[in-house]
């Protein structure tokens, strides 16, 4: 430190102080305002960027909420459509069963009617055959009975006795 005091020059000190003050004055006059303006502009830019980021974050949250809402609505609509499809399927199955049952009942009724008509036709045919056989048998019996004259007279007498007069 002593050496520093020994080498001290007042003239140099004054010149350096004046130069320093001039430099500070020039800096304040020409550079200080642009530097402060640049710093203020940068601070405002950062603030604006932070505000924009916050707005984007809020907008993103709103969009996400809207997406969730749309997703829930789509799920609800899908569930409604699935329920409707199940109901339509059940109705179609029930209708098909009813139609098949009605068709089966109709077929059964037609079959029963056919069976009854064929039964009646068979009974009528049997009756006709029995009648023909009866006539043939009666014809043969009558021929045999009427071939003899005594038997014919006995038959006429029997019929007359059986017949009632009015």
* Residue 166 banded pLDDT, cuts 50, 70, 90: very low
Q: 0.85 cut: is pTM over it?
A: no
Q: Per the domain annotation, does 2 fall within a domain?
A: no
Residue 16 lies in domain: 10-162
Residue 145 CB partners (closer than 8 Å, separation 6+): 151, 152, 155
**Percentage of the chain lying above the pLDDT 70 cut:** 93
Q: Per the domain annotation, does 143 fall within a domain?
A: yes
* Residue 146 banded pLDDT, cuts 50, 70, 90: low
For the segment 39-81, what is each residue's pLDDT rounded down to a tens digit? Answer: 999 999 999 999 999 999 999 999 999 999 999 999 999 999 9
Q: Per the domain annotation, does 114 fall within a domain?
A: yes
The pLDDT, as a whole number, for residue 163 is 67
For the segment 100-139, what is each residue's pLDDT rounded down to a tens digit? Answer: 999 999 999 999 999 999 999 999 888 888 888 878 777 7
DSSP string, the chain: -HHHHHT--HHHHHHHHHHHHHHHHHIIIIIIHHHHHHHHHHHHHHHHHHHHHHHHHHHHHHHHHHHHHHHHHHHHHHHHHHHHHHHHHHHHHHHHHHHHHHHHHHHHHHHHHHHHHHHHHHHHHHHHHHHHHHHHHHHHHHHHHHTSHHHHHHHHHHHHHHS---
Q: Per the domain annotation, does 135 fall within a domain?
A: yes
Q: Per the domain annotation, does 5 fall within a domain?
A: no
Q: Per the domain annotation, does 3 fall within a domain?
A: no
Q: Per the domain annotation, does 45 fall within a domain?
A: yes
For the segment 149-160, what is each residue's pLDDT rounded down to a tens digit? Answer: 777 777 777 777
More confident residue, 17 or 159: 17
* Domain tally, the chain: 1
């Amino acid at each position: 430190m002593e050496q520093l005091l020994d080498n001290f020059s007042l003239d140099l000190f004054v010149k350096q102080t004046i130069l320093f003050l001039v430099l500070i004055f020039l800096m304040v006059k020409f550079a200080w305002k642009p530097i402060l303006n640049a710093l203020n502009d940068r601070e405002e830019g950062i603030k604006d960027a932070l505000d924009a980021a916050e707005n984007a974050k809020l907008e993103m949250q709103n969009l996400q909420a809207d997406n969730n809402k749309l997703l829930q609505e789509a799920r609800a609509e899908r569930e409604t459509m699935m329920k409707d499809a199940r109901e339509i399927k059940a109705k179609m199955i029930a209708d098909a069963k009813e139609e098949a049952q009605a068709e089966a009942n109709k077929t059964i009724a037609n079959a029963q009617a056919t069976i009854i008509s064929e039964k009646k036709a068979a009974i009528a045919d049997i009756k006709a055959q029995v009648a023909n056989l009866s006539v043939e048998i009666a014809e043969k019996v009558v021929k045999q009975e009427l071939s003899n004259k005594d038997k014919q007279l006995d038959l006429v007498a029997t019929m007359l006795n059986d017949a009632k007069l009015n």
